[in-house]
């Protein structure tokens, strides 16, 4: 039980941190920032998949990513936006959502080398 709670907390933290990095970087250096933001998201989910071999953990991290992305896309108290409705913001939102769907349902294969050790 304790391991499940700990892994869920790590998944929430990793998802939120990778989403925050993506929101901060996607509009930085126009094409390169978007690529780096999606690469960070891919790396985070690959590491979570290899560490826990659980779709549930990746789903929890994806929910954290989407919560940060939705909050960054809505107007704040003083009408500020972090993800604008321009081409890069729309492309980041659609690409990260599609990448999340792929990464959550992708199966992680155990290496035959590590299983023999």
pLDDT tens across 56-82, in order? 999 999 999 999 999 999 998 888 888
- What CA–CA distance (Å, rounded) separates 20 from 17? 5
Nearest to 83 by CA among 33, 15, 11: 33
CA distance from start to end of the chain: 27
Nearest to 93 by CA among 71, 115, 117: 71
According to DSSP, residue 85 is labeled S
- Work out the pLDDT band at 117, boundaries 50, 70, 90: low
């Amino acid at each position: 039980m304790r391991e499940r709670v700990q892994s869920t907390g790590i998944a929430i933290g990793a998802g939120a941190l990778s989403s925050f990095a993506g929101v901060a970087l996607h509009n930085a250096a126009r094409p390169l920032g978007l690529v780096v933001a999606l690469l960070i998201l891919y790396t985070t989910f690959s590491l979570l998949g290899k560490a826990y071999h659980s779709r549930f953990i990746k789903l929890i991290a994806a929910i954290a990513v989407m919560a940060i992305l939705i909050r960054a896309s809505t107007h704040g108290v003083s009408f500020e936006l972090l993800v604008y409705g321009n081409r890069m913001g729309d492309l980041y939102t659609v690409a990260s959502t599609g990448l999340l769907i792929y990464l959550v349902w992708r199966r992680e294969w155990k290496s035959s080398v590590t299983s023999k050790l």
